[in-house]
Structure 1
Amino acid sequence: MKSKNIKFILIIITILGSIFFRNDLIKGSSINKNEITDQNGILLDIARCPLSKQEIEKVINQINSKKFSYVILHLNDDEHVAFQTKMLKNEDSKNVLSKKDLKEITKDANQHGLTLIPDFDTPGHCKALIKLLKKHSPKLAHKICLNSNTLNYTKSATIKFIKQINGELSNACANQNTRYILLGGDEVAANENNNHALMKYFNELNAFENRHGFRTIVWNDSILKNNNLNNKIVVAYWAQGGGNTSKKILQKEYDNRANVTNLIDHPLINANAGYNYFNLDNLGNLNYITNFINRLNSSAGKNFDLINPQTLTNDPDCYQREIKSSGRLICLWGDKNSKIKINQLLYLIKKINTIQ
């Protein structure tokens, strides 16, 4: 009897071990594959244009999953933090999603054939976050804030703080086969002296997410030509020049900022600002929507928004034949913290579903 019990226990241990091993393989597979770079996605700015859980689910269910494979929820910007986190004590804030909400939205997206990607933009675009931090944790705010809208990415305390927030997000969005999180990097002031520290900031957050089975994404405009960014990090390329139009600034950005060729070893998402960006202030403008769809259809999938060195202007028609990926990210941005009409947004999604 004793021998049989031991044999039974050994069988159970073997079965459990194989299950855990399979789980590790599943996590590893989500890190090694670049699924989203060859597929289309939609970014929804709910930090500046808040939507309820039910409204987000309506949008998700409107998206054609045969043409789009993922949805990015932009949860943090200067105007608002749209995620309820214990680190900011914003449980009583209006228009915030709880971890339970995100879990249910993730489940709904998966059932509709879409991956849900949380986007918590740091270290820039953090004015609303810093206000909350100063209110509830003034000592920590003094320690990790660089200025009124930027966290001090050179401080280990900042990385620890953001890991805790991103850990909450990762946990809420973990129950899916393909797991990504967008770390940010949008419009961060980091000259050559500080850029090494900024890339180190993203590398550490990337390593943290990798350990939890997530791949990471950052925006391109904080990356210089000579950089130390881990080449496993996915780069969402919106514009080499960012939002700048000054020839003097564009000359400087052309000389310093990474172009597409400089990032050839990274998985790349084409988020071409000249074609793929829609300002949600124009939701009720049917002519604007028609022109947006026509422009999307006229753009080649390998056209990127780079700086033209002859004219020193932003050129969204720079064809990059060496890029292997073919997917596009369509970004629905808000410029101010304003409520939008859900029926108008659903109409826009319906039109986006028609792109070639």
Structure 2
Amino acid sequence: MMERGVVLDCARKVYSSDFIFRLLDVMELTHFTHLQLHFSDNEGYRIESDVCPELVSADHFTKAEILEFQRYAKQKQITIIPELDSPGHLQHFLRVYPQFRLDESIKCAADITDPRFVAHIKSLITEVLTLFSDSPVFHLGCDEVIDWDRVAYLPSRVQTCLSATNQVDYINDLAEVVEQKGKRARIWNDGCYRKKTENRLKSSIEIAYWTRWHKEMAPVDTFLEHHHPLFNYNDNDLYFVLGEAAGYTYPSVEKLRDFTPAKFAQQQWDTTHRSKGFYFSIWGDHPEALDEDMILTKITPLLTELATK
């Protein structure tokens, strides 16, 4: 069955438990099947942790709350997917663990060649996998690790760390942790198969294809050619970015009438119709731009329109 999902960035904007329940109610009414919780980012780590309690932000969901969200979602036949983003989007993590920083000039990315860092991330993944035991999918992030146009100007050690081989080894290694638990690993598309280079990314890894804003990012067809399960997170049509940051504008019902699950970012089309589903994303770039009631008021007609797709 095709996945019809919502991504909620609860790392950059703090949401109440009540909002999660209300969002699940709207999703049920509009026939959405999956809620992806993006709970870790530069601004915070928003889920209780026994493994790394010092990492947890002051405003966070307790494990008991997460279990209650899952129980409520299950009643509505909605699956909750956790997303723990690395090795980029780690500014908060690196404030707590500065020893894992890739380079002093880079605030948000960690050194993936440091086995201590990898062990740290694996321990968090294992904890979250246990907490979300009913979810068949774990999203590993792996997007926007660095501004790739800057790489040539960075120290040679950093360039080596960021090699395609090291990147793929890191992703495959984390995916193995997920798959050993009987789950499926999913990542964002933008860091893989860049410049059409061949790599050894496991074909079982699912791709959340959100953008091709840079010329070196691989097109949709590349992931299909490598037999990756593909999901449409089209940022041109399906991104609801608070404060309309980063050049985005709030999508409208009129705009979404032209959307189909085969229409990917930058006017790419899946002519084979092998996409496994699509996701509407609520990003918290400017968290104070809209309150919870305003968000639900704005997105409900949008999800209603997408219910027809």
Common fold by TM > 0.5: yes
Within the candidate set 234, 254, 272, 1:294 is matched to 254
> Where in structure 2 are there 5+ consecutive unaligned residues?
152-158
Is the 1:64–1:353 contact (alpha carbons within 8 Å) kept by the matching residues of 2? no
Counterpart-to-counterpart distance in 1, 2:78 and 2:299: 15
1:40 aligns with 2:29: no
CA displacement at 1:87 relative to structure 2: 4.0
Is the 1:278–1:331 contact (alpha carbons within 8 Å) kept by the matching residues of 2? yes
Within the candidate set 17, 20, 28, 1:64 is matched to 28
What pairs up with 1:212-251 in 2 under 5 angstroms?
A: 212-224=181-193, 225=196, 226-241=198-213, 250-251=214-215
* Structure (1/2) with the larger helix percentage: 1
Is the 1:186–1:222 contact (alpha carbons within 8 Å) kept by the matching residues of 2? yes
- Residues 93/262 of structure 1: CA separation in 2 closer, same or farther (3 Å cut): closer
* Structure (1/2) with the larger strand percentage: 2
CA displacement at 1:205 relative to structure 2: 1.0
CA displacement at 1:109 relative to structure 2: 1.1
CA displacement at 1:340 relative to structure 2: 4.3
> Where in structure 1 are there 5+ consecutive unaligned residues?
1-34, 134-140, 242-249, 283-287, 306-315
| Cα RMSD for the two superposed structures | 2.3
CA displacement at 1:339 relative to structure 2: 7.6
AA aligned to 2:236 is G
TM-score by length of 2: 0.84
Classify the secondary structure of the residue corresponding to 1:166.
helix
- Residues 94/337 of structure 1: CA separation in 2 closer, same or farther (3 Å cut): farther
Count, aligned residues: 283
CA displacement at 1:66 relative to structure 2: 5.7
Match of residue 37 from structure 2: 73
Q: Say which is worse superposed, 77-86 or 107-116, in terms of deviation.
A: 77-86
CA displacement at 1:107 relative to structure 2: 1.3
1:113 aligns with 2:77: yes
Note the alpha carbon deviations across 1:33-58, whole angstroms, 9 max, x for none: xx5xx221000011111112232122
Within the candidate set 146, 164, 167, 2:102 is matched to 146
Give the share of equivalent positions with the same residue, in percent.
25
1:272 aligns with 2:234: yes
Within the candidate set 314, 320, 327, 2:277 is matched to 327
Is the 1:117–1:180 contact (alpha carbons within 8 Å) kept by the matching residues of 2? yes
CA displacement at 1:182 relative to structure 2: 0.6
Counterpart-to-counterpart distance in 2, 1:336 and 1:196: 35
Is the 2:55–2:96 contact (alpha carbons within 8 Å) kept by the matching residues of 1? no
Is the 1:88–1:129 contact (alpha carbons within 8 Å) kept by the matching residues of 2? no
CA displacement at 1:91 relative to structure 2: 7.5
- Residues 102/317 of structure 1: CA separation in 2 closer, same or farther (3 Å cut): same
Is the 2:44–2:56 contact (alpha carbons within 8 Å) kept by the matching residues of 1? no
Classify the secondary structure of the residue corresponding to 2:170.
helix
Is the 2:242–2:287 contact (alpha carbons within 8 Å) kept by the matching residues of 1? no
Is the 1:47–1:337 contact (alpha carbons within 8 Å) kept by the matching residues of 2? no
Match of residue 185 from structure 1: 142
CA displacement at 1:300 relative to structure 2: 2.5
Is the 1:218–1:233 contact (alpha carbons within 8 Å) kept by the matching residues of 2? yes
AA aligned to 1:296 is L
Is the 2:87–2:112 contact (alpha carbons within 8 Å) kept by the matching residues of 1? yes
1:318 aligns with 2:278: no
TM-score by length of 1: 0.74
Note the alpha carbon deviations across 1:125-172, whole angstroms, 9 max, x for none: 110111123xxxxxxx41x22142111112222221111111111111
Counterpart-to-counterpart distance in 1, 2:186 and 2:56: 30
Within the candidate set 110, 117, 122, 1:163 is matched to 122
